[in-house]
Amino acid sequence: MKGRLYMKIGLINGSPKQRNSVSETIISQLKGRIEKGNQLIELHFRTNRLSDQSIGQLASCDCLVFAFPLYVDGIPSHLLACLRQLEDYFSKEAKKELRVYCLVNCGFYEGEQTAIAQDIMKNWCKRATLSWGQGIGIGSGGMVQSVANAGDDFRLKRNFARALDMVSKNILSLSEAENVYINFNFPRLLYKLCGEMGWRKQIKNEGLKVKDLNRQIDLGDSKG
Ligand SMILES: Cc1cc2nc3c(=O)[nH]c(=O)nc-3n(C[C@H](O)[C@H](O)[C@H](O)COP(=O)(O)O)c2cc1C
């Protein structure tokens, strides 16, 4: 399918974080590649209900690009609720073809971890009578923000930048393509060590102790 001269592209941040999410950074890195005179409609899904206005905005687009985090090998629950609402709308409304692209980032090292979430999105497209475009799985999500300001040829950023180039080209031509899963050019062990250091720092900032990282919530404990 050929792309149009000017397109309306819906960019959906599906992270529940209000700010500084990896998904937000991914969208901002993508924007520079797909703006080119196109109209970008940016929405942040943070609750489990979409307004009629948001649905109308999305329905007027030529394609939708979702960027969201992997949660328990799947889709964050608030986003799932919004997808159900959109499915209901799109499957009943007669509309033009709308292609869907997904950029899913995760905490684990390998981008392949997001494969199940990409399948869920692909199945959702079928039920919502939308067309699947492509999925990009980004492993080591925490690295995205560290390399955001680096040049695209910076060794650590290269795989991420190439994946964005690829999906941008497909978005601009409204094409379908195979999913792509990427890792950063960073040793796996070092990534794990840095992650563990980050968690220790975060838990201390919250006023808790490092051993609390292993604490299990005993639901039977809660009284009243
Ligand atoms: C509730 C929850 C579940 C998660 N489940 C997974 C998971 O199954 N696999 C994984 O690799 N990362 C998992 N993560 C990590 C997030 O995908 C990761 O931190 C991501 O970079 C957050 O993206 P965001 O900043 O755009 O929200 C989980 C995080 C949370 C809070």
C-alpha closest to that of 151 among 136, 161, 141: 161
Range of the domain at 15: 8-183
In the predicted structure, residue 113 carries a pLDDT above the cut 80 = yes
Pairwise CA distance, residues 63 & 43, whole Å: 13
Query: Ligand 1 centroid vs 69 CA: distance in angstroms?
Result: 5
Query: Ligand 1 centroid vs 85 CA: distance in angstroms?
Result: 23
- Are 72 and 110 part of one and the same domain? yes
* Neighbour tally for 162: CB within 10 Å: 14
Q: Is the CB of 106 under 6 A from ligand 1?
A: yes
31-90: per-residue pLDDT in tens? 999 998 999 999 999 999 999 999 999 999 999 999 999 999 999 999 999 999 999 999
C-alpha closest to that of 11 among 19, 23, 1: 23
Secondary-structure percent of the chain, ordered helix, strand, coil, rounded to 5: 45, 15, 40
Return the residue whose CA atom lies nearest to atom 30 of ligand 1.
Answer: 71
CATH code where residue 55 lies: 3.40.50.360
Pairwise CA distance, residues 29 & 32, whole Å: 6
User: Which atom, in ligand 1's list, is nearest to the CA of 74?
Assistant: 8
Containing 177, the helix (H) or strand (E) segment is: none
- Are 48 and 113 part of one and the same domain? yes
Query: Ligand 1 centroid vs 70 CA: distance in angstroms?
Result: 5
Does the pTM of the predicted model rise above 0.85?
yes
Does some domain include residue 47?
Answer: yes
Does some domain include residue 223?
Answer: no
- Are 37 and 132 part of one and the same domain? yes
